[in-house]
Amino acid sequence: MTLSGEAFAKALGERSAEVSPAAAARFGSEAFAAHPAIRRPDPVEFARAVAERLEHHPLSALTPADLFLAQGAVAGDPVALKAFSQLAHHRVPRVLASMRPSPALVEEVDERLQEKLIVCARGKKPKLSEYQGTGTLAAWVGVAAVRIAIELIRLKRYQNAVTLDEGSLDARLAGGDPEFDLLKSAHSRRFKEAFQAAFVKLPIEDRSLLRMHLKDGLSIDQLGVMFQIHRATAARRIGRAKEALLEGVRVVLSAKFRMSDDEIDSDLRKIEPNLDLSLSRLLLASDRRP
Q: How far apart are CA 95 and CA 223, in angstroms?
A: 9
Q: How far is CA 36 from the centre of its chain?
A: 29
Last residue of a domain, one of 99, 134, 154: 154
Residue 159 lies in a domain: no
Same domain, 180 and 282: yes
Same domain, 130 and 38: yes
Same domain, 278 and 213: yes
Same domain, 20 and 71: yes
Range of the domain at 191: 166-288
Last residue of a domain, one of 154, 179, 204: 154
Residue 161 lies in a domain: no
Same domain, 179 and 104: no
Which residues, other chains included, contact 11 with Cβ-Cβ below 8 Å and sequence gap of 6+? 43, 44, 46, 47, 48
Same domain, 13 and 55: yes
pLDDT digits (tens, 9 = 90+) for 239-283: 888 888 888 888 988 888 888 888 888 777 766 655 666 676 667
Residue 268 lies in a domain: yes
Same domain, 13 and 143: yes
Residue 62 lies in a domain: yes
Same domain, 48 and 134: yes
Number of structural domains in the chain:
2
Same domain, 252 and 122: no
Same domain, 172 and 245: yes
Q: What SS3 state is found at 101?
A: coil
The answer to whether 64 and 34 are in contact (CB under 8 A) is yes
pLDDT at 109 over 80: yes
pLDDT digits (tens, 9 = 90+) for 161-172: 444 443 433 443
pLDDT digits (tens, 9 = 90+) for 207-249: 888 887 877 777 787 777 777 778 888 888 888 888 888 888 8
Same domain, 172 and 147: no
Q: How far is CA 96 from the centre of its chain?
A: 17
Same domain, 38 and 89: yes
Beta-carbon count within 10 A of 17 CB: 8
pLDDT digits (tens, 9 = 90+) for 111-136: 888 888 887 656 678 889 888 888 88
Q: How far is CA 165 from the centre of its chain?
A: 22
Which of 96, 75, 99, 78 is CA-nearest to residue 141?
96
Question: Does the reported pTM lie above 0.75?
Answer: no
Residue 160 lies in a domain: no
Last residue of a domain, one of 98, 124, 154: 154
